[in-house]
Amino acid sequence: TAAFIANASAAGGSLRVPTPLNQERNLYPIPIYLAELGIAEKISLLQQSDDAARAYDRRIKQVQASYVDETKHILIVTSDGRATWDLQPLVRLNVMCIAEENGQRQSGYQGGGGRGVLDVFTGDLDPHALARESARQAILQLRAIDAPAGPMEVVLGPGWPGILLHEAIGHGLEADFNRKKTSAFAGLIGQKVGSELCTVVDDGTIPFRRGSLNMDDEGNPTHRTVLIEKGVLQGYLQDRLSSKLMKAPLTGNGRRQSYDHIPMPRMTNTFMMSGDSAPEDIIKSVEKGLYAVHFGGGQVDITSGKFVFTASEAYLIENGQITAPVKGATLIGDGPTVLRQVTAVGNDLELDQGVGICGKEGQTIPVSVGLPTIKIREITVGGTEK
């Protein structure tokens, strides 16, 4: 294309000059630009968070609150005559608490945000609510017992546990890994890759969500893409290069951290669709197992799906009842195997509260994850119980 442009200019020819187009949609209209907000309002959010966390319980000894916002002005003009633009706001408020009692220290974390301005922080994302939830987690860990170890039935709670789906399965559905045949899902379109209870979707069109975009970083509109339907692989997440090489439809998933990087296939808001089971019935069906509600750090081989995740909040399930909180639990397995071992899917899909950050090949981007309550027949749990 560059040679074509140069030759046309040398020959005195004319070229069509792209003119920026108006947005066809706006998934995150904002009433005021972030740059126009005063620092006082942002400091107030942090102060409210600190006050609410310390008021929750006298055992909360340290509070760390952080606020981050940005507005990206994106203009994409290509040599084939396309021109698109976007204004992308993003905010996030994080609260971490440390509780102390009898020489023991435990931490809790909660955050929230999305594509918007300060009006994002209402309801469950109110700074008081985020702070109290962070404090609750820290206090809970003070009475947690050591987690058991070994293979067992595991129930994942709704919302943030979808990070396991994102990391251990979602990356393996990105087209570049599949055209290079390094993914566990390469060449399996049309084949059963999971339980028939599982339908996995990537949807970049949900208003105000952290992973949503009016357009991807190649100027293509984002889509709702069904990746796995009732356990059968339907397709991959595509950027322009992979779409052309694989002769597959574009999905609007060409993303990059900034203009310093090249676009590649990346997720937006990735989640498993709700099923028919009531969450309480899923718990009742487990004689002995683990209920994992929140996750902290972990390690993942994003092509094979092998993972080790630390559960920052988890409980024993005994005789169909949630009993003692546990600490030190890690889940060890691989995404494709876990997907095949899903035996129940709840009717309570939730997306995370707007804190997801995804890394790939040195690039980080904002994403959202989601999950309903699901039951997995067996995962190896690494515990600290003696």
Q: Give the CATH number of domain 39-143.
A: 3.30.2290.10
Listing from the earlier edge strand, what are the strands of the sheet with 104-114? Answer: 60-77, 83-101, 104-114
Q: Which two tokens stand for residue 110?
A: 């909660």
Q: What's the rounded Cα separation, in Å, for the pair 215 and 25?
A: 9
Residue 146 has, within 13 A of its CA and on its CB side, a CA count of 7
DSSP 168: I
Q: Which two tokens stand for residue 182?
A: 């390094």
Element (H, E) at 327: strand 321-327
pLDDT tens per residue, the chain (386 residues)?
Answer: 555 555 555 555 555 555 555 566 899 987 655 556 678 999 999 999 999 999 999 999 999 999 999 989 999 988 888 889 999 999 999 999 999 999 999 999 999 999 998 889 999 999 999 999 999 999 999 999 999 999 999 999 999 999 999 999 999 999 999 999 999 999 999 999 999 999 999 999 999 999 999 999 999 999 999 999 999 999 999 999 999 999 999 999 999 999 999 999 999 999 999 999 999 999 999 999 999 999 988 888 977 889 999 999 999 999 999 999 999 999 999 999 999 999 999 999 999 999 999 999 999 999 999 999 999 999 999 987 65
Cβ atoms of 92 and 112 within 8 Å: the answer is yes
Please report, for the chain, the start and end positions of each structural domain, with discontinuous segments joined by +: 39-143, 146-382
Q: Which two tokens stand for residue 306?
A: 């092998």
Element (H, E) at 47: helix 39-56
Burial degree of 22 (CB within 10 A; 0-12, 13-18, 19+) = exposed
Output the pTM of the full model.
Answer: 0.92
